[in-house]
Structure 1
Amino acid sequence: MNLELALRMTEAAVKQAYREGATISVAVVDEGGNLVSFQRMEGAAISGPVLAPGKAYTAVALRLATSELAGLAVPGGELAGLPGGRYVCLGGGVPLWSGDGARERVVGGVGVSGGTIDQDVACAEAAESVWHTR
């Protein structure tokens, strides 16, 4: 993950947010969950600077889209008792994969917050598409 690519990814998420009618914050992190790029649209919710990087970090740490976590983190679920803090179990975070087959690994993540869950997911997927076409 480099800064140029991360900036293109955040821009793609913001463009999708305009199409969705949402105001968002978007974060891109590297494979260690470290912030590489962040943008907050004017008027976006004050929670975005915490939730967007949290969703990106969670996607990297758990190697799952955060939209998949809600059902897993409920009592009796596979991830029941997942600690709070940096883990955010709301849709809008996606891991970024590199390689193929047995050598595939997570090399970063995208997190979006500020719209509805569906809007956040759509914006994160727009950023992810930049990763796939790099």
Structure 2
Amino acid sequence: MTNHFRRLAILAGAALAVAAASAQQATYQVRSITPEAALKAASAALAACQKNGHQVAVAVTDRAGHPLVMLRDRHAGPHTPQTAIGKAYTALSFKLNTTEFVRATQAGQPASGIRDLPGVVAVGGGWPIEGGGSLVAAIGVSGAPGGDADDVCAKAGIAAIRDDLEF
């Protein structure tokens, strides 16, 4: 083989190697909560609120913000399902519990305008759910008297699946 053909072969090999490396970087893996784990978390959150005498709705979204589970206590207000979904969506979108989100987006704060985005709910009771160092879901609770009480129930839901998420 002549030097010219060897150079062409080496260049062709290098081009194939670069193309293969680029193809590997064109996708990524994402972890998300399973419907079974979402139901377990929602059920635990609902039970915690019921134990405290609160009629609520609980929603769990997947990693992409799509609702997987929504449970509503029989006497929870008609607004609570959509509010719970909005709290979970907000916590997931901003990777921040909604009680902290309320503080960070008050009037006069640089980020106050994001409260006006569609689907965002700036009330306590929404929490991101992490597992294995990744954001995998979010939970929202609505209907207890105040965001602090909703937070307690949401945390109980996360605690119920904490061991299942640490992979």
TM-score clears 0.5 = yes
State the Cα deviation string for residues 82-132 of structure 1 (Å, max 9, x = none): 124211110000001122xxxx32110000000122221111001111231
* 119, 124, 127: which one aligns with 1:91: 124
The amino acid across from 1:121 in the alignment is: D
Q: RMSD across aligned C-alpha pairs, in angstroms?
A: 1.1
For 2:143, the equivalent position in structure 1 comes to 114
The structure-2 alpha-carbon separation of the partners of 1:46 and 1:73, relative to structure 1 and needing over 3 Å to count, comes to: same
Structure 1 residue 74: Cα displacement: 1.4
Q: CA deviation at 1:41?
A: 0.3
Distance 2:148 2:51 in 1: 13
Structure 1 length as normaliser, TM-score? Answer: 0.92
Q: Which has the larger radius of gyration?
A: 2
Deviation of the 1:72 alpha carbon: 1.2
The match for 2:50 among 15, 18, 21 is: 18
TM-score, normalising length: structure 2: 0.74
Q: Percent identity over the alignment?
A: 32
Structure 1: runs of 5 or more not aligned: none
Q: SS of the residue aligned with 1:85?
A: coil
Q: Which runs of 4+ in 1 moved over 2 A?
A: none
**What SS is found at the alignment partner of 1:52?**
helix
Larger RCO of the pair (alpha carbons < 8 Å, separation 6+): 1
How many corresponding residue pairs? 130
Aligned partners of 1:96 and 1:131 also within 8 Å: no
- Residue number in structure 2 paired with 1:68: 100
